[in-house]
Structure 1
Amino acid sequence: MGHVALFLSPSSVASLLHGRRSTRSSAKKHRRICSSSVMATVSEDPIREWILTKGKASKIFRISSIGGGCINYANCYDTDVGSFFVKTNREIGPSMFEGEALGLSAMYDTKSIRVPLPFKVGSLPPSGSFIIMEFIEFDRSRGDQSVLGRKLAEMHKAGKSDKGFGFHVDNTIGSTPQINTWKDDWIEFFAEHRLGYQLKLARRQWNDPIILELGERLIKNMHLLFKGAVLEPCLLHGDLWMGNISSDKDGNPVILDPACYYGHNEAEFGMSWCAGFGGSFYKSYFEVMPKQPGFQKRKNLYMLYHYLNHYNLFGRAYRSSALSIIEDYLRMMRVSTV
């Protein structure tokens, strides 16, 4: 098929529906491509084509590498109308970046916390994909924790769905598929599309029937943890850890690289074990989104999803943490672990 090219505006997220950070080796290949693409004709380079047409630039002064983690490769394109942030992946098609762009646009539309505005998603010849978005110059700090907590709560409060729990498309959490098929019931959604999916991956990938069996016992009984809780679908970033939190030059918090969906707001804290949220963060958050009965009991349940994902992505070092959470819950619920 030809290039997949989508213009992403904050007010027309639905238009996307019509329409992994790369490996080291593909990153080296991309450096060679980028160095030569400055001299290439517009038609040979869809990134350059968009910047010089829809992006309204007349000159690209330089293309500089700014890293991109372990799945995608990232560049800054400096032009006469400002800078553009571009992520590319030479192995994965546009669907991953389409999911990211939909999430960024949905968060942007809440007019709460700052996120990079996505402009364009497309495919790269002969394979791969790209996303062009707003370039934000980050400050060295991660900003004020209390402001972050308040802004995040404002996003959760503003970002609502009348379709239930899920998202417009499936996306990825890291490089793991994240299933977002709509459901009316949060506990059913979290059981099937979050914990259940990760447990089955662990069974297939690591030949780990024990964690699957015990995890399924937890799933059958986890409704006990939600007594008295109000379960409304809120727009979640979905992968909020330290590496995805920053601040702009004015000190405003910025969140990026989302795995968005509409879920119970407390699920946003599932990566708190590597997010560095402090007391001032939670204090300001709960002033906007009041704490619900049973919050402390559910915290580890939401962490479990991410521990299982890390187990499936990075190996057995995370198995003990995931299994410990499962066994602790089963003991608390007086469910046999034997």
Structure 2
Amino acid sequence: MWHAIAQQLSEVLAFNFIIREKEHLSDGECNSCYMISDGEERYFVKVNGREFISKFESEIDNLSALLATSTIRVPQPVTCGVTKDNAFLILNYLPTKPVIPPKDAFDFGNQLAMLHQWGEQKEYGYDADTYVGLNLQPNTWHKNWGFFFAEFRIGWQLQLLKEKGLDLGDIDQTVNLVKSILGAHSPKPALLHGNLTANNHALSVSGVISYDPSSYWGDRECDIAIIEAFSGLDDEFFKAYNQSYPLPEGYLNRKSVYQLYYLLCCCNQFGGDYLPQCLEQISQLEK
């Protein structure tokens, strides 16, 4: 496997890359992770089964889209490919640590606000389907945000769960409830990171860096709701974000819907404790 990876990396780099150092890093939720080096350059490698190639291709596309905005920091994608038994993804390697000081959290808040103000898009969706962890995320373009989120986010996940034998109630009823809550909310489409949990950002030498995106054009409040519930970032982040790009009225009424989506994704991937959390969240929405 490693010989094939070195060969394909050499083709991209246009010189003969020989792996002289390989370190097995802490694995992610889905992939085995490594650092490889030829003694001068270092790269971060994710490895999984061959069927994961579409996920790695999607990740490269998302990282490239975010890099093009020159706002938040993300790893530089290098290449992805397959060997006889595996798929792999190669990114530039950046040493990181999990603790993010208030100053860096503040800077990150400003950068995310810049991302959410970047670009012009009239519809919600993306040119390709993406992934949240192992979950496919359909991104069919649509002009109505409430319909898009209710059908292609909440309804999609509920249907996947039902097919696994996990019944969270009447799907149509929950989808219609989400449409009702989002109502006439018609936010300016923003390019989202889409997966900003505590596991998907860290502190590098150049500041906070985010990875494992699940990008699409949607309501910026989705990113904020996930960060608020699942990231562990302190108040300095939210202070900076709101100074740069204040959240609109009604966010507090919508954030539980957006947080439900991430809980459903986790329930689909991990099951267990997430099932009662999802049921409780739906119950709270109904009230």
TM-score by length of 2: 0.91
Aligned equivalent of 2:163, options 162, 179, 204: 204
Task: Answer yes or no: is the 8 Å Cα contact 1:71–1:175 preserved in 2.
Answer: yes
Q: Deviations over 1:55-112 (max 9, x none)?
A: 2355432121113323111111112441111112124242111110111011111111
Deviation at 1:209, TM superposition (A): 5.4
Counterpart of 2:236 in structure 1 is 280
Aligned equivalent of 1:258, options 199, 213, 225: 213
Aligned equivalent of 2:43, options 84, 100, 116: 84
Counterpart of 1:317 in structure 2 is 273
Structure 1 position 231 matched with structure 2 position 187: yes
Structure 1 position 150 matched with structure 2 position 110: yes
With 131-140 and 256-265 compared, the bigger mean Cα shift is at 131-140
Deviation at 1:142, TM superposition (A): 2.7
Q: Deviations over 1:109-132 (max 9, x none)?
A: 11111110111121222x431111
Alpha-carbon distance between aligned partners in 2 of 1:48 and 1:128, rounded to the nearest angstrom? 14
What pairs up with 1:1-338 in 2 under 5 angstroms? 33-34=1-2, 37=3, 45=4, 47-55=5-13, 56-125=15-84, 127-139=85-97, 141-143=99-101, 144-158=104-118, 160-162=119-121, 164-208=123-167, 210=169, 212=171, 214-224=173-183, 227=185, 231-250=187-206, 252-271=207-226, 272-331=228-287
Deviation at 1:315, TM superposition (A): 1.6
1:210 is paired with a residue whose SS is coil
Deviation at 1:146, TM superposition (A): 1.1
Task: Answer yes or no: is the 8 Å Cα contact 1:58–1:80 preserved in 2.
Answer: no
Task: Answer yes or no: is the 8 Å Cα contact 1:236–1:268 preserved in 2.
Answer: yes
The aligned amino acid for 1:106 is A
Relative to structure 1, is the Cα distance of residues 273 and 206 closer, same or farther in structure 2, using a 3 angstrom cutoff?
farther
1:120 is paired with a residue whose SS is strand
The aligned amino acid for 1:51 is L
Root mean square deviation, CA, Å: 2.0
Give the 4+ runs in structure 1 shifted more than 6 A. Answer: none
1:189 is paired with a residue whose SS is helix
The aligned amino acid for 1:274 is F
TM-score by length of 1: 0.78
Relative to structure 1, is the Cα distance of residues 189 and 161 closer, same or farther in structure 2, using a 3 angstrom cutoff?
farther
Task: Answer yes or no: is the 8 Å Cα contact 1:97–1:131 preserved in 2.
Answer: yes
Deviation at 1:141, TM superposition (A): 2.4
Percent pairwise identity: 28
Number of equivalent positions: 283
Alpha-carbon distance between aligned partners in 2 of 1:151 and 1:142, rounded to the nearest angstrom? 15
Bigger radius of gyration among the two: 1
